[in-house]
Amino acid sequence: MEITSQDPCVPDPLKPYVQIDGWGEVPVVLGHGFGTDKSAWDYLTPFLPKGFTYIRYDLAGCGSDEDTQHRYDVQRHSHLYGYADDLIELLDQLGVQSCIYVGHSVSCMIGAIAAIARPDLFRRHIWIGPSPCYLKDENYPGTLTPDDLQAIYEAMVTNYQAWAAGFAPLMFGLKEEHRLADFSQTLFRLQPRIALRTLQMIFDSDTRSFVGKVQQPVHLIFNRNDFVVPQGVALWLHATLPHSTLDWIDAQGHLPHMTHPTAVGSLLKKYMSI
């Protein structure tokens, strides 16, 4: 029997931000990145392997304004650990004992922190466009400088809508108006003050010192031309994670699950069936 977000298995408090689809003994958790919500996985859905139960959820601060008011906490969500606590609590509330975790961007590091704290909850990870740190230094191939960050934050404060209109095409990397409009819609829907705090939290985070402690297999998926995460970061992660694989998609942008769902779906099928 197909499971949906309206079924009794989803506790009422979770229904505003949790969606469950499919049927299978193995649960697959889908964690989205900045500027999107759980709808970001819609393009990938037709290419997801059958026989799994898919759990997708909105990060705190994303989704509807009403849900944001109930869940987003300035102090709790000022660092990745608060989001990792959210993920662990969600899995416990749903009775998930061991899942495959598919994360995009910031949700990859959220999954890493959760997996280090509760390794029993995760059997393997598939990370799309992850980065443990965004600032560059002499020992790490990041892309951003403190001056870059200051310019971004000032632009967001000055005119969020104008900043978002310029940021969306860079993130998307594909000139397809319909799909770009879908991404832009969720980006524009973010409350500007929460968007600024969230992006500052992401860019200030640095998990390099402990990301290598993730003991489950991690399958890395990157676009070859991603202005957010350069190839050097992908190679750094692959070398740092003790049980990892690395796959490239010949595409631009930071959202391959939206822009190239066939390629991503093929890799998911490969690694979820192991």
212-236 confidence digits (pLDDT tens): 999 999 999 999 999 999 999 999 9
pLDDT at 91: 97
Single out the catalytic residue among 32, 254, 257, 260: 254
**pLDDT category of residue 246 using cuts at 50, 70 and 90:** very high
pLDDT at 6: 45
Q: For the chain, give the longest Cα–Cα distance.
A: 54
Provide the pairing of β-strand 53-57 with 18-22: antiparallel
Quick: pLDDT tens for 107-125: 999 999 999 999 999 999 9
pLDDT at 274: 85
Catalytic residue check, 244: no
Asked if residue 177 has pLDDT above 90, the reply is no
Catalytic residue check, 105: yes
User: Average pLDDT, stretch 18-32?
Assistant: 95
pLDDT at 12: 86
Question: Which of 2-6, 119-123, 191-195 has the least mean pLDDT?
Answer: 2-6
**pLDDT category of residue 191 using cuts at 50, 70 and 90:** very high
User: Average pLDDT, stretch 189-209?
Assistant: 97
User: Distances in Å between the alpha carbon of 191 and those of 63, 68, 82, 157, 187?
Assistant: 10, 9, 19, 12, 9
Identify any residues that bridge with 100 across adjacent strands, giving them in sequence order: 28, 124
Asked if residue 161 has pLDDT above 50, the reply is yes
pLDDT at 3: 46
**pLDDT category of residue 174 using cuts at 50, 70 and 90:** confident
> Taking the domain 12-272, which CATH number applies?
3.40.50.1820
Asked if residue 84 has pLDDT above 70, the reply is yes
pLDDT at 57: 98
Average pLDDT over all residues of the chain: 94
Catalytic residue check, 12: no
Asked if 174 contacts 261 with a C-beta cutoff of 8 angstroms, the reply is no
**pLDDT category of residue 176 using cuts at 50, 70 and 90:** confident
Single out the catalytic residue among 105, 107, 131, 205: 105
Asked if residue 1 has pLDDT above 50, the reply is no
Percent above pLDDT 90 for the chain: 88
Q: How would you classify residue 161: left for phi > 0, otherwise alpha for psi between -120 and 50, otherwise beta? A: alpha
Identify any residues that bridge with 246 across adjacent strands, giving them in sequence order: 220
Asked if residue 4 has pLDDT above 80, the reply is no
**Residue in the block written with tokens 């890493």:** 112
Single out the catalytic residue among 205, 226, 257, 260: 226
